[in-house]
Amino acid sequence: MIRAVLDTNIFVSSIFWFGPSHKVAGKALDGKIEVFTSIEILQELDKVLRKDFNEPDEMVHRQISLIMDYATVVQSGVNLSIVKKDPDDDKIIECAVSCNADYIVTGDRHLLDLKEYKEIKIVTAKQFLELV
């Protein structure tokens, strides 16, 4: 089965809009892909939903619980410094390396510009849907 790490922006897009990111999350819910995440990614999602979208506690908890229903939370066993223009994005690559992911799915230009890291392909949600 395909193993993927979804960036925070994919989770956010899947929550608020019914585009490609929502379809990727649907594939995970249907058990068609294996999704991995980390505490750091979930913490970032929590922060974004509260601060950028002003969502109440109940909604934030509900969304994170839903993600935890279809995603496996891994503890990052590595500490990398790959994304020079936005070091905060390193947590996505660290998670992908730790779970031996096939793909990182993101809308983040800093990650997409890398295209690949140690055989982990970095793609948009639309590209990912075309591949699976």
Residue 90 tokens read as: 């390193």
CATH code for residues 3-131 = 3.40.50.1010
Contacts of residue 79, Cβ cutoff 8 Å, sequence gap at least 6? 94
pLDDT averaged over every residue in the chain: 93
What pLDDT is attached to residue 36?
Answer: 97
Residue 44 tokens read as: 């970032």
Give the rounded percent of residues in the chain with a pLDDT score beyond 70: 97
What pLDDT is attached to residue 125?
Answer: 98
Amino acid at 109: R
How far apart CA 128 and CA 114 sit, in angstroms, is 16
Task: Sketch the domain layout of the chain as residue ranges.
Answer: 3-131
Mean pLDDT computed over 14-23:
96
Q: What is the pLDDT of residues 53-104, one digit of tens each?
A: 999 999 999 999 999 999 999 987 777 667 777 667 899 999 999 999 999 9
Beta bridge partners of 58: none
Do residues 4 and 10 touch, judged by C-beta distance below 8 A?
A: no
What pLDDT is attached to residue 55?
Answer: 95
